[in-house]
Structure 1
Amino acid sequence: MTIPLRFGYKASAEQFGPTELLKYAVLAEQAGFDSVFVSDHFQPWNHEGGHAPAAMPWLGALGARTERILMGTSVLTPSFRYHPAVVAQAFGTLGAMFPGRVILGVGSGEALNEVALGIPWPEVKERFARLKEAITIIETLWSEDRVTYEGQFFRTENATIYDKPETPVPIYIGASGPAATRLAGRMASGFITTSGKARELYTDTLLPALAEGIEKGHRSPDDVDTLMEMKVSFDHDRERALQDTRYWAPLALTPEEKMAVEDPIEMQRLADALPIERTAARWIVSTDPDEHVDRIESYLDLGFRHLVFHGPGADQERFIRLYGEEILPRLRARHG
């Protein structure tokens, strides 16, 4: 079965408190978005004015306030702050309450979220191994009873998830490198990555790795949703669209600049030093809706089927309204 084309809204948990964020996500459903994805940070990118609501209870509130949208995490780390069994329990509950509407998006984590809790931050190889083990535990708990598991990093003993959906919640894997992308192709229901990077990263590295994983898993491309978190700043005022990206300057830092940063105060210091041209470089900054859609379509041309739009500005109601009135209708008119 062909994966449908979907357009989602990124709920910026790093920028807004939980009540305000919930209001925007409900508006997104009303404006015609198909999904809402929220990140799960323990600490935000910015110390001053930052937020970090817990994703799992927030998704429960969102499900109760909405009727049709898909909702999930982009992304949650199930292998440091949380024991994978706790994640299985929480998302099993969400899946039972809102059947067919919940997605668990997972990743290997960042130091900013874990080190503050006294967790030693390991190298990439261990983070990746922890993620694989965590996914195995979660899926086993959703499909079996009385699970005893002894892994390298986690254990369970006669563990049972008593409240779970009739069908497991889809697991999507967030990745920016080939190893995790291959894992998504081999075993996940979806692959999550972000826009605004060199086109060659997608064409020469990530998408070939995804195809390799799908082949190794003896699966079809239609078994794996391809979700691109789109960094977009659309407004009729170009200066406003440009300056809206300032809050999200940390995204313009290279992986080498930010991966080992443990303190949001230091993260904010590094980001504040960037010029606006570099801050905006990760974003599609546009004032013309047709030009904006043309630039978005370059990601559809790559094969991504689920675009989740992240607007950087403080006025999210304005972003949601403009997208609902001018961008989503154009995308759907072109692509059905």
Structure 2
Amino acid sequence: MTRFGYTLMTEQSGPRELVRYAVGAERAGFDFEVSSDHYFPWLVEMGHAPYAWAVLGAAAQATERVELMTYVTCPTVRYHPAVVAQKAATLGLLADNRFTLGLGSGEVLNEHVVGQGWPAAATRQAMLVEAIEIIRSLHTGEQLTWAGEHYRVDSAKIWDLPDEPVPLAAAVSGASSIEKFAPLVDHLIAVEPDAELVRGWDDARSRSELGAGRKIGQIPICWGPDKDRAVDRAHELFRWFGGGWHVNADLPTPVAFDAASQFVRKDDVAGSIACGPDLDELAESVRPFLDAGFTDVALVQVGDESQSEFLENVAGPLLDRLRAL
């Protein structure tokens, strides 16, 4: 049966609110919670970008049942992979083995802040492969010295490890990334309901004599009692979403995203994001992920001001409809 998650959207909510939403989402019945890991919001109007790892640490202590996950962390430029390995191990302990480390090759929006430039896509993927190998090695508890093409690690060792190894998931977008990452991690991450990705992943895992793993997707919705206002909110805060991954990865600032999305119309947003009070319509918007073979789907409820009412009054009945699909 498909598992349904809630997104702790760091770009649209402050840290205290996010921890409160994490508790509310567990109470509402979500199976897992994912957190974005951003230095900037996509758009100025979103207004937030707290440190995801501090939020997740607090959420790990405030919740009891739900799995927590980064969706996703980039362990290549802003973070050194040895530091990510330590953070993930600590969070695995704090969450009592409820944490999955979701990894990706990142966006310049978040990585440019350390002033090391933005590598080409092929280089970023090669860096991510090496980063995953470092993280895996450090999670064995052994001391590691590493001299690779992209990273150096000098006599590193993680002293606090959870009882179970932290599962790793990687964001993929096509055949090339599947071939690179399917043998290295446990689970697939993708934001498009692409059945070819799922089949390619399963084939690659089978060739490596590995289990299929989970396929974890994500989709925005914009519940609200008034459909027109919900569309307005989705347009204001999520019009960047229509650019596609290749655009999203290479724009450097919220101002750039504002410029790139200035011609996105409200009708465009309403055509791609289910908006309004109709829970059946919101649930049906998730069906393409189910049809494509995704095992897990995380919802993004657009807008900070709507989260409390959504979690208290809407999420439970919506989850019932989703599970009925």
Q: Is the 8 A contact 1:79 1:130 kept in 2?
A: yes
Q: Report if aligned partners of 1:37, 1:308 keep a CA contact under 8 Å in 2.
A: yes
- Percentage of matched positions with identical amino acids: 33
Counterpart for residue 292 of structure 1: 282
Residue 217 (structure 1) aligns with: 208
In the alignment, which residue of structure 2 is the partner of 1:301? 291
Q: Counterpart in 1 of 2:34? A: 37
d(CA) in 2 for partners of 1:284 and 1:176? 23
Indicate whether 1:161 and 2:151 are aligned. no
From the superposition, tell whether residues 7 and 255 of structure 1 become closer, same or farther in structure 2 (CA, over 3 Å): closer
Distance in 2, matches of 1:187 and 1:32, equals 31
Counting only pairs closer than 5 Å after superposition, residues 76-87 of structure 1 correspond to structure 2 as 76-87=73-84
CA shift for structure 1 position 49: 4.5
Is 1:327 the counterpart of 2:318? The answer is: yes
Once the 2 structures are TM-superposed, how far is the Cα of residue 53 of structure 1 from its aligned partner? 1.1
User: What do residues 68-126 of structure 1 show as CA deviations (whole Å, max 9, x unaligned)?
Assistant: 11011100000111111101111111112222211110100111111132121111110
Contact 2:198 2:215 in 1 (8 A): no
- The answer to whether structure 1 residue 100 and structure 2 residue 121 are counterparts is no
**Structure 2 residue identity aligned to 1:219:** L
Instruction: Name the counterpart of 2:220.
Output: 231
Segment drifting more, 49-58 vs 183-192: 183-192
Deviations 1:267-287 (A, max 9, x none): 123224321122334323354
Cα distance between partner residues in 2 of 1:229 and 1:323: 18
Give the CA deviation at 1:322: 4.3
Q: Structure 1: which 5+ residue stretches go unaligned?
A: none
Deviation at 1:251, TM superposition (A): 1.0
Unaligned regions of 5+ residues in structure 2, if any?
A: none
Residue 144 of structure 2 is aligned to residue 147 of structure 1 = yes
10-19 or 323-332, which deviates more: 323-332
Residue identity opposite 2:232 in structure 1: Q
Shift of 1:21: 1.6
The number of equivalent residue pairs is 323
If the length of structure 2 is used for normalisation, what is the TM-score? 0.93
Is 83-92 or 44-53 further displaced after alignment?
Answer: 44-53
Q: How does 1:6-45 map to 2 (within 5 A)?
A: 6-45=3-42
Identify if the C-alpha distance between structure 1 residues 291 and 15 changes in structure 2 by more than 3 Å, giving closer, same or farther: closer
Q: If the length of structure 1 is used for normalisation, what is the TM-score?
A: 0.90
Measured at CA, do residues 143 and 262 of structure 1 come closer, stay the same or move farther in structure 2, by a change above 3 Å?
A: same
| Equivalent residues of 1:108, 1:127 under 8 A apart | yes
Alignment partner of 1:250 is 2:247: no
Deviation at 1:48, TM superposition (A): 4.4
What code does the residue aligned with 1:215 have?
S
1:126 aligns with 2:123: yes
Helix, strand or coil: the match of 1:105? Answer: strand
* Partners of 2:33 and 2:183 in 1: CA distance: 25
CA distance, structure 2, for counterparts of residue 289 and residue 155 of structure 1: 51
Question: Does the Cα contact within 8 Å between 1:185 and 1:212 map onto a contact in 2?
Answer: no
Amino acid at match of 2:256: E
Superimposed CA distance per residue, residues 268-326 of structure 1 (whole angstroms, 9 cap, x where no aligned partner): 23224321122334323354323433332332122111111101133111222344232
1:203 is matched with which residue?
A: 195
Say which of 253, 270, 273 aligns to 1:263.
253
Identify which of 261, 264, 268 aligns with 1:274: 264
